[in-house]
Structures are given as structure tokens and as C-alpha cells.
Amino acid sequence: MLKKAVEEILVRQIEREAYSSNLYLAMASWAETNGFGGVSEWMYAQAEEEKIHMLKFMKYVNERGGKAIIPAIEQPPFDFANVQEVFEKTLEHEQFVTESINEIVGVCLEEKDFTTHNWIQWFVTEQIEEEASVSGIIDKLKLLNGQNLYMFDRDVVGMRGAVPGSQQ
């Protein structure tokens, strides 16, 4: 059975994962309508992954005797200056999500909910990979300095989930 503080912070994360999915859908739409098919595909895949994360939180809360609540979701931004801004906003958002996951870890430890603490570790690792992947993409964009985005757009889908220095 979930303690109230743990249930509340997990339900908050359901909203954050839903927002993440919508944010990446907005970015995908921007990219698609601006001729960046590869970036769009990357963002659509990212949006789907965030939806799956939301569902994991919902199922966990319900399985542990809590009640997953489906929240209203704030409209994300939908217009961006360029591809560089899209990925910088993505990194900024992933860093926010990392902090949110860390807050959950903290509540689990305070409440001595070691079952949820163990379960949330998957998300801790996932956030390390998310931030590293997006940071690597931003590094590539900086190398391009706004030039040759055609090749970047063609290749970006293959960079999804690729963590610099990993064995993937």
C-alpha cells in the first residue's frame, strides 16, 4: 500500500509525463511543418516514449493501492526559432524531469518506501540516458553552426537514445 506522500508525488509525475509527451508532440509538429522530417520523427518517437512512462506511473500507482488521476495538461509551446532551440528546450525539460524523479526518490527515502524506491530506479537510469542523448545532439548542432542541417535531419533519428561513450 502506498503512503499518501508517495502516492501524491507519483500522481504529480503522471501529469509531468503527460506534459512531456505533449511538449514533444508540439515540437514534432513544428519540425514537420518546417521541413525537418528526421527531427519530427525523433520527436514523435520521444512523445510516444513519454506516454509509455506516464502509463507506467499510472499502473504502478493503481497496482500499489493508490489511485492514478488523469490530470489536465497545460498547453506546451508550439513555435520555435530553429532546430537548435528545439533541442535546447528538450534538454532543459529533461533536466526538469530528472529533478522531479530525484524528488520522488527523496520522498521514498523519507517515507521508507523501499519498494517504490527500487521501482523508481529504472527512471533514474532512464533520465541519465535521456540527458546524455540530447546533449550529444546539441553538441552535433553546435558543430554544424546552423549549416548542413539537411544531413543532420537525415541522421538524427539514428541518434535517438544513443548515449555518447556507451556501448549501444
User: Helix crossing, 83-110 with 4-33: angle to 10°?
Assistant: 170
Q: Which residue has the cell 526538469?
A: 96
Instruction: State the binding site for Fe cation.
Output: 17, 50, 53, 94, 127
Instruction: State the binding site.
Output: 17, 50, 53, 94, 127
Question: Number of helices (H) and strands (E), helices first, in the chain?
Answer: 5, 0
Beta-carbon contacts of 154 under 8 Å, excluding residues fewer than 6 positions away, are 38
Distance CA 113, CA 75 (A): 33
Distance CA 145, CA 122 (A): 35
DSSP code at position 22:
H
Integer CA distances (angstroms), 87 to 68, 79, 84, 95, 123, in order? 31, 13, 5, 12, 21
